[in-house]
Amino acid sequence: MSVKKPPSLLKWSLKYSITAAFASIICCVAPAVLFMFGLMGGVFAISFADFFYNDDGSEGTGSLILKGVAVTIGIYGVYSFRKKQNQCSIDPKRKRKNLLILITTIIIVGVSIFLSLEKWSAWYFDAHIVPAQQQELKK
C-alpha cells in the first residue's frame, strides 16, 4: 500500500486566498475591468457597483454577502486541506503546524489582495469611470 503525498501547503493557501480575495471584491473589480475593455459604460459600471453599497457609500447587503462568500471559501480551503492532510501519514505536530501556517497565509494573503484591489478599484473609479459617467450623463 502506498502512502499518499501530502498536499502542497503553498499552492493550497494561494489558491484559496486568491479565490477568496477576488470573491470579496468582485463588486468593484468586475465593473472596472469590463469598463477598461470597453464592454461597459461609466453609468452602468457605477450602477453595478452601487448595487453592493448604500447611498452614503457604506457597505451594503451585497458587499457583506460577498465578504461572507469569501470567508466561506477560506474556511472550505482549511477544511478540505485538513481532510486531505489527514489521509497522509505525517506527524500530528506537523499537521497542526501546517494547518496554522495555512490559516495564517490564507488570512494575510487574502486580506492583502483584497485591500490592494479595493485601493486600485477606488482609484480607477475616481480617475476613469466617474468622469466617463459624467460625460455620458451630459449627453
pLDDT digits (tens, 9 = 90+) for 29-61: 999 999 999 999 999 988 888 888 887 878 889
Phi and psi torsions of 41, nearest 5°: -85, 170
pLDDT tens track for 8-27: 889 999 999 999 999 999 98
- Euclidean distance between CA atoms 43 and 59, whole angstroms: 20
Residues facing 132 on adjacent strands = none
Round to whole Å and give the CA distance between 114 and 137.
31
**One-letter amino acid of 53:** Y
The three three-digit cell numbers of residue 38, written as one number: 470597453
Confidence of residue 2 (pLDDT cuts 50, 70, 90): low
pLDDT at 3: 57
Asked whether residue 104 carries a pLDDT value surpassing 80, the answer given is: yes
The three-class DSSP label of residue 59 is strand
Where is 47: in which H helix or E strand? helix 42-50
| pLDDT over threshold 80, residue 6 | no
Q: How far is CA 17 from CA 10, 22, 37, 75, 103, in A?
A: 10, 9, 26, 10, 9
